Structure 1
C-alpha cells in the first residue's frame, strides 16, 4: 500500500454536527490533492455517535478513540498522529472546511526542512471576513500572547511569510519536528494554548514558522470548544497561560513579571498551575539544551515584522 505524504489530524469531542458540515469539503480537497493524503479522526469519548457515523459514511477515513485514561484535544491529537504515517501533518479542528484546491495550493510549498505553516483563515458564516492573518508575538500583562494579526491587505503578494505563531484550527508541521518536540504537551489538557506552546518551543530551537497567504480554510470559530465566556473555559485559559509562561520563559525578568502578576491577580488558577510544577520543570529542562533563540530576540523580531508591514 502506498504511504500517504500528508496526514490530516482532527480531534473531536461531541462534534458530529461539525463533522457532517465540514468533512465533505475535506474529502473533496483530498480527492483533488496532487499527493496521497490520509485522514485520522480521534474521538475524545464522544457520546453523539461520531464513531458510528464515520464508520458508516467515511469508511476510508481512520476513526479512533482516546484511551479510557486520556481526555482532551492534546491527547486526541497525539493519539491520531501515532495512528498516522504521513511525512507532513495537517492539524484541523472539526469545525473547519477546506477549499477544493487547498492541497493543490499548499503541497508545492511543503519542504523537507520546514517546521510549521499556518493558514489565512476566514469565517464560515461570512467567507469574505478574514479571521486569522500573519500571527505576531508579544508579551503584555505578564504573559506571552500570540493573538496579534497582520491581515492580507497589509501584506505583500507572496505566499510564505515568516510569522510568530499559528492558529491551532489549521496548521502544518513535519512529523520529524513533531517527534523531536515530543508531540503536543499534555500539560495543557484538555485544551487551550497547546499549539502555542508547541510552536514557541520550536521557534526557540531556531525553527521559523511561516504564513500561507493564498488559502482560506473556513472556520466556525468557537464551535470546537466551549464558549470563551464560560467560567470553566476562562479558568482553564488562565491556568494554561500560567503553565505556558512557566515552561517557556527563560528570560528571568519576563518570568518574574509573569509569576508575580498571575499570583496576585489569579491566585486560584496560579496554585492550580503550580500543582504541575514537576512536569513543568521536566519539560523546561528537556528544552534548555536546544534553545538557540531567546524570548527577547523573538519578541524583537515580531515587533520589527509588525513595524515593517504596518508602516506601509
Structure 2
C-alpha cells in the first residue's frame, strides 16, 4: 500500500520480553495506524528470550510479523538492535510493546523527513492510567553538568519544534541515519538512558530531532521494566548508565570537573545511605575503557565528515529554538 503524498515506507521494530499480554492489547492499534497511513510497511518483533507465550502468540496470530527469537536475554539495546538490523524500509518506528497508537499516528510525522537533516520525530505520549500527557517535547534545562536534566513542554499543533531527545517508546527515525550511528549503544544494556544517548549522538552528528503533538499514542508508563526488575537493580543500572552517558557527552574541562566532583561525592553518598550509587560507580568504571574507545571513534568519524557539533552547542541551540517557539505561543 502506498500513500499518494509520500513514497516513504515504514519498518516497525518492537522489542519484546514476556509481553504477550501487551502485544495482544496493542498490536491491533499498530496495524490500524499502518493501514490508515497507506504506506508500505513491515512489523518486526525481536523477542528477548521470553519465558511466557509471546513467541507462540505471535506465530499463531500474526504470521506476517518478522519474528526474531533470541535464545538468551541481552537487554533492551542488544535486543532492539537485532530488530533494527532486520529492517528494510526508509523509516523505522522504534516502539515499545506497551504503546497503543492512534489511527492517524503517522499522518503528521512523515513531512519531517522531507528535510535531509532530520534524524527523527516523536509524538505525544498519554498516560493510560490518568489520561494526562506523560511525555511530550523535551526541553533541556540549564545545568553545568547534568545531561539528563530536562522537562516536558506543551507545543501547539502546527508549530515545528525541536526535541532534546526522542523517547525510545515511540521514535520514528531515518533507517539510514540510525544505521550510520550503529543503532543503540549496547553498553547501556539492559535498560535506561539509551534513547537519550542515541538522540544526542544524532544531534552531535549534525542531525535534528523533532516533536510532533499531532501524533498521539497511549503508554502504560514503565510497565515493561518495572514488572521484571527489582527497584534496587533499576536504581543501580540507571545510575551506572547515567554516569556513562555523562562521560560520553561531556568534554574538555567540563568532563574533568564532572569526574572530580563525582568521585569526591562517593563518601557522602554512602553517608546518605545510597550504597547503590557506589555500586553503580564501580560498574561504570568497569565499562569505562569500552566507552572511551566508543566515544573516540564516534567523535573522529563525525569530525572527518564535517558534522561534529559539541554537546554544549547542541544544548544551547535546542534551548534557543524552543524558547523562540514558546515566545510565539504566548503572544
TM-score when normalising by structure 1: 0.90
Residue 299 of structure 1 pairs with residue 310 of structure 2: no
The DSSP-based 3-state class of the residue aligned with 1:239 is: helix
The DSSP-based 3-state class of the residue aligned with 1:304 is: helix
Structure 2 contact 47–70 (Cα < 8 Å) conserved: yes
Deviates more, 1:50-59 or 1:81-90: 81-90
Residue 209 of structure 1 pairs with residue 236 of structure 2: no
The 5 A counterparts of 1:162-241 are: 162-226=162-226, 230-241=231-242
Among candidates 289, 293, 299, match of residue 282 of structure 1: 293
The 1-side partners of 2:17 and 2:260 are apart by 35
Residue 107 of structure 1 pairs with residue 107 of structure 2: no
1:207-261 superposed Cα distances (whole Å, 9 cap, x missing partner): 11111121111111111212798111011000001111112212x2321233233
- CA shift for structure 1 position 101: 1.5
The 5 A counterparts of 1:1-312 are: 5-68=9-72, 71-111=74-114, 113=116, 114-127=118-131, 129-138=132-141, 140=143, 142-145=145-148, 147-152=150-155, 155=156, 157-226=157-226, 230-250=231-251, 252-263=252-263, 264-265=265-266, 266-289=277-300, 290-291=302-303, 292-310=308-326, 312=330
The DSSP-based 3-state class of the residue aligned with 2:183 is: coil
Q: Residues 108 and 302 (structure 1 numbering): CA distance in 2 closer, same or farther, change over 3 Å?
A: closer
Pairwise CA RMSD: 2.4
Structure 1 contact 91–169 (Cα < 8 Å) conserved: yes
Q: Residues 166 and 146 (structure 1 numbering): CA distance in 2 closer, same or farther, change over 3 Å?
A: farther
The DSSP-based 3-state class of the residue aligned with 1:115 is: strand
The 2-side partners of 1:95 and 1:254 are apart by 38
Q: Residues 45 and 141 (structure 1 numbering): CA distance in 2 closer, same or farther, change over 3 Å?
A: farther
The 2-side partners of 1:72 and 1:268 are apart by 20
- CA shift for structure 1 position 166: 1.3
- CA shift for structure 1 position 302: 3.4
- CA shift for structure 1 position 189: 0.5
The number of residues matched between the two structures is 306
- CA shift for structure 1 position 91: 0.4
Where do 5+ consecutive residues of structure 2 fail to align?
A: 267-276
Structure 1 contact 146–164 (Cα < 8 Å) conserved: no
The 1-side partners of 2:34 and 2:291 are apart by 38
TM-score when normalising by structure 2: 0.85
- CA shift for structure 1 position 168: 1.2
Where do 5+ consecutive residues of structure 1 fail to align?
A: none
Larger radius of gyration, structure 1 or 2? 2
The 2-side partners of 1:32 and 1:223 are apart by 28
Structure 2 contact 161–322 (Cα < 8 Å) conserved: no
Structure 2 contact 137–153 (Cα < 8 Å) conserved: yes
Structure 1 contact 160–213 (Cα < 8 Å) conserved: no
Q: Residues 43 and 305 (structure 1 numbering): CA distance in 2 closer, same or farther, change over 3 Å?
A: same
